[in-house]
């Protein structure tokens, strides 16, 4: 087992994002270390990374558990998304290569929707918004935004509903892209702002229906 730690954190990250461990689930050091065939020390190092990324909650003396975003977290995440995605889009050029990535994501989402593959639709949806951030040419913004989306994915996992939360917004991504190319960044950013507000509302509504904190 060579470069464990580097791999371990990202492997765990993928598993968490894909729902292998449910949001809120306790991650025992002993059990996980045994299952992942690694030592507690190495595992704990990976935990620090994931904790810093907001994917796991770490409570002193009580270990770590998969993050389970509360309503307040969802609100916070969407605030950050509006600032970052909105700011980037408003200040970007419609000629930036990242726009092609946006287009690709839209098409991927569309064809996945045709086949009713809602998991892929959700992934493509997020890829669209990640592509928006590409327009800023900032590695740091990309990283941060990726972490926001990862946290949000946990919220979706907790809701267990990919269809209802992504499908209605599919066409609006296309609309944003259309505005970006046709009417310029400002118009696109305005639509994005509305999109994010509505999306947030949908998630919060689902949370409320589930009676989450």
Structural contact between residues 132 and 98, judged by C-beta atoms closer than 8 angstroms:
yes
Contacts of a copy of itself in 16-45 (CB under 8 A): 41, 44-45
Q: How far is the CB of 171 from a copy of itself (least distance, A)?
A: 25
Backbone angles phi, psi at 26, to 5 degrees: -75, 140
Sign of torsion over alpha carbons 77, 82, 88, 89: positive
- Which residue of 52, 100, 183, 198 would you call a contact of a copy of itself, by CB under 8 A? 52
Kindly tell me which of 28 and 138 has the beta carbon lying closer to DNA: 28
Q: Which two tokens stand for residue 211?
A: 């009676």
Which of 159-171 are b and which e, b meaning 16 or more Cβ less than 10 Å from the residue's Cβ? bebbeebbbebbe
Q: How far is the CB of 47 from DNA (least distance, A)?
A: 8
Task: State how far the alpha carbon of 199 is from the alpha carbons of 32, 138, 206, in Å.
Answer: 35, 25, 11
Q: How far is the CB of 6 from DNA (least distance, A)?
A: 7
- Which residue of 17, 19, 22, 42 would you call a contact of DNA, by CB under 7 A? 42
**What distance in Å separates the CA atoms of residue 205 and residue 198, rounded to the nearest whole number?**
10
Structural contact between residues 104 and 125, judged by C-beta atoms closer than 8 angstroms:
no
- Which residue of 2, 72, 95, 139 would you call a contact of DNA, by CB under 7 A? 2
| Interaction mask 45-64, DNA, x per CB under 7 A | -------------x-xxxx-
Structural contact between residues 36 and 26, judged by C-beta atoms closer than 8 angstroms:
no
| Interaction mask 138-157, DNA, x per CB under 7 A | --------------------
Point out which residues bind a copy of itself (CB under 8 A): 3, 5-6, 41, 44-46, 48-49, 51-54, 60, 76-77, 79-80, 82-84, 86-88, 90-91, 136-141, 144, 148
């Amino acid at each position: 087992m060579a470069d464990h730690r580097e791999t371990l954190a990202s492997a765990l990250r993928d598993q968490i994002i894909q729902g292998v461990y449910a949001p809120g689930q306790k991650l025992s050091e002993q059990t996980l270390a045994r299952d992942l065939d690694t030592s507690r020390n190495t595992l704990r190092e990976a935990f620090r990374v994931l904790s810093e990324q907001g994917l796991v909650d770490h409570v002193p003396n009580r270990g770590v558990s998969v993050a389970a975003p509360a309503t307040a977290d969802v609100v916070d995440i969407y605030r950050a998304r509006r600032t970052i995605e909105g700011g980037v889009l408003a200040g970007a050029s419609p000629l930036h290569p990242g726009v092609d990535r946006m287009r690709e994501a839209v098409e991927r989402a569309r064809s996945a929707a045709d086949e009713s593959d809602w998991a892929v639709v959700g992934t493509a949806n997020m890829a669209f918004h990640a592509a928006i951030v590409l327009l800023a040419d900032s590695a740091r913004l990309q990283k941060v935004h990726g972490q926001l989306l990862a946290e949000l994915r946990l919220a979706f996992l907790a809701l267990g509903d990919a269809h209802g939360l992504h499908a209605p917004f599919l066409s609006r991504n296309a609309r944003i892209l259309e505005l970006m190319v046709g009417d310029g960044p400002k118009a696109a950013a305005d639509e994005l702002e509305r999109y994010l507000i509505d999306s947030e509302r949908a998630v919060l509504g689902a949370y409320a229906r589930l009676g989450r904190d």
